[in-house]
Structure 1
Amino acid sequence: MNGENEDARGMITVSGSIMEVQNALVEDMFTSNSRTGYLLISYADPGENDMLNIGWDTLLIDQFGEVISLCSITKGTYVNATFSSVMTRSIPPQSNAYRIIAMVDTTSYRITTDRIVWVDTDNHFIYTGNPNDESEQIRFVISSATQIMDEDGKPLTDVDLKPGKMIRIKHASFQTASIPPQTTAFEIELLSS
């Protein structure tokens, strides 16, 4: 995504026990479950690489602030990383990542069509699924960027969303491991049936 003819990799900055690098190049990535694993990154210092351990507490987002899975970050992706200054003495050194912002080409998404179970307008959530079983529901976060419309594309608000109504939701492909799982809604279309 960065200039094809020039190396845009940044330098590491240190602030207390926190290290940061802008535009680090992902040289390698490993994950066994799409959420934990490691990234091998390089930055402006020639020959310098660090291995960032990605755990459940690591915030993984794209350049738009949307939560992503580790699988979305591939070799050749540029990332902005915040990580611990405590590093192993291995080659390459390893550190725990706190936040990774990946400059991904496109935001991946999924589409879910289901009935509304509950609308929490105070906290900007909408729930779909089985009204009698929380484990069979999904909680969608409605942000200021979420578009709500009818089938003809006319704008609506979250006040127009009522329990029992059928909706089609374009949402992030990654969900939290909570019950019910939570994800971000990009578009909500209120269906007439």
Structure 2
Amino acid sequence: MNKQWKKQAATLMVAAMAVSGGAAAYAAPQAGGSQEQKPVVISAVIDYGVLVNGKEVAGAGYMNADAKQVMIPLRSVSEALGFELEWNQQDRSAEMTKPGSPIWTLVQTGKDQYTVNKMYKSLGAAPVNVKGTLYVPANFFSEVLQANVSVDGTKVSISSEEEIKKETVSGTISEIMNNEDRKAVHINGTGTEGIVLNVDESTIIRDAEGKKIELKDLAKGMEIEAVHSMAMTMSLPPQTYAYEISVKPDKEETEQLATAGAITDINADGGNLRVTIKGKGLTEQSPSEVILNLTPETVIVNKEGKTMKSSELTGEAEIIGYYSPVLTKSLPPIGNAIKIVLQ
């Protein structure tokens, strides 16, 4: 009888160790005692092996029972991926960079707040310091360091991206941020519209002739093409990192004025459509309110570049109007629209 109970107890212990956390098993009854089974809590902590580019790294991962995420050692894994880690004891944070890569991030103990494209992102679990080793969720390496991550049973495999995923976007500069705290270019809209391209010293910026220029040389109203990371923040407007920015070789575009805002009046008297825009001038010479005549040559598109009809312009619609710098001296001034972008 004792042999049978021992066999059952062993089976229950194996089952308990197959899951993270604790599980209840039952102790074998004592000889001559009651046959009632008393529950015994068995704690099981499962180690997760970590492979980087096919090679095992020092330190094992573990399951965060609360967040239900695998936590793995930050330093050994990030250094195996080629990152340099600098520890700040004062605020218990780690700053990470990689030579030749635009990726930069800051990880702080106890804060589910990770830096991605100079914006904060939550990953569902905060970094944890266990006996001097800082652990982060496995998805930190995919979401922040742009590596490939897979979890198979109790094995975590991480590999470097052979090529960082990029895509290209074209648009018109509506705002430029160039100060010590922020360097970015806002295109295709104002406020929550469009997209913000974050730049740094690694971003390559070229003029229409292909010569390298600086952020200060860009101007509102310029048409550009940007190569940026496919990783974007969930903010409005979305933000991403720009690897390259090129000014389009159409010098006429830079001579245009532009105003972004709402249509406050639409007038079709005399057979020609005329719209009044009130909002924000996108260049130093652009007024905040302007009346634009739409001609057969005026291009009307949405923010994705799809051609629209003038009949789709309605009162209070948000638009960006691009127009010739030749304006009347009236208030508001009147000019001819070159392009209308419906937001």
* 8 Å Cα contact 1:117-1:163 kept in structure 2: yes
What are structure 2's unaligned runs of at least 5 residues? 1-51, 62-70, 82-121, 125-136, 251-343
Structure with bigger gyration radius: 2
The amino acid of 2:56's aligned partner reads: R
* 8 Å Cα contact 1:146-1:185 kept in structure 2: yes
- Equivalent positions of 1:122-137 (< 5 A) are 122=179, 123-131=182-190, 134-137=191-194
- Partner SS for 1:11: coil
User: Within 1, Cα distance between the matches of 2:57 and 2:178?
Assistant: 42
User: Within 1, Cα distance between the matches of 2:167 and 2:178?
Assistant: 23
Comparing both chains, which one has the higher relative contact order based on Cα–Cα distances under 8 Å and sequence gaps of 6 or more?
A: 1
- Partner SS for 1:12: coil
Q: Which has the higher strand share?
A: 1
- Partner SS for 2:195: strand
- Name the % identity: 19
- Equivalent positions of 1:37-186 (< 5 A) are 54=139, 58=140, 60-62=143-145, 68=146, 73=148, 92=154, 103-122=160-179, 123-131=182-190, 134-186=191-243
Q: What is the Cα-based RMSD across aligned positions, in Å?
A: 3.7
What are structure 1's unaligned runs of at least 5 residues? 25-34, 38-51, 63-67, 77-90, 95-100
- Partner SS for 2:201: strand
Deviations 1:108-167 (A, max 9, x none): 101010000100001101100123xx3321111111100000233211111111111000
User: Within 1, Cα distance between the matches of 2:248 and 2:171?
Assistant: 10
- Partner SS for 1:145: coil
* 8 Å Cα contact 2:149-2:159 kept in structure 1: no
TM-score by length of 2: 0.33
Count of matched residue positions in the alignment of Structure 1 and Structure 2:
131
* 8 Å Cα contact 2:225-2:246 kept in structure 1: yes
Structure 1 residues 149 and 93, CA gap change in structure 2 (3 angstroms): closer
User: Within 1, Cα distance between the matches of 2:123 and 2:166?
Assistant: 20
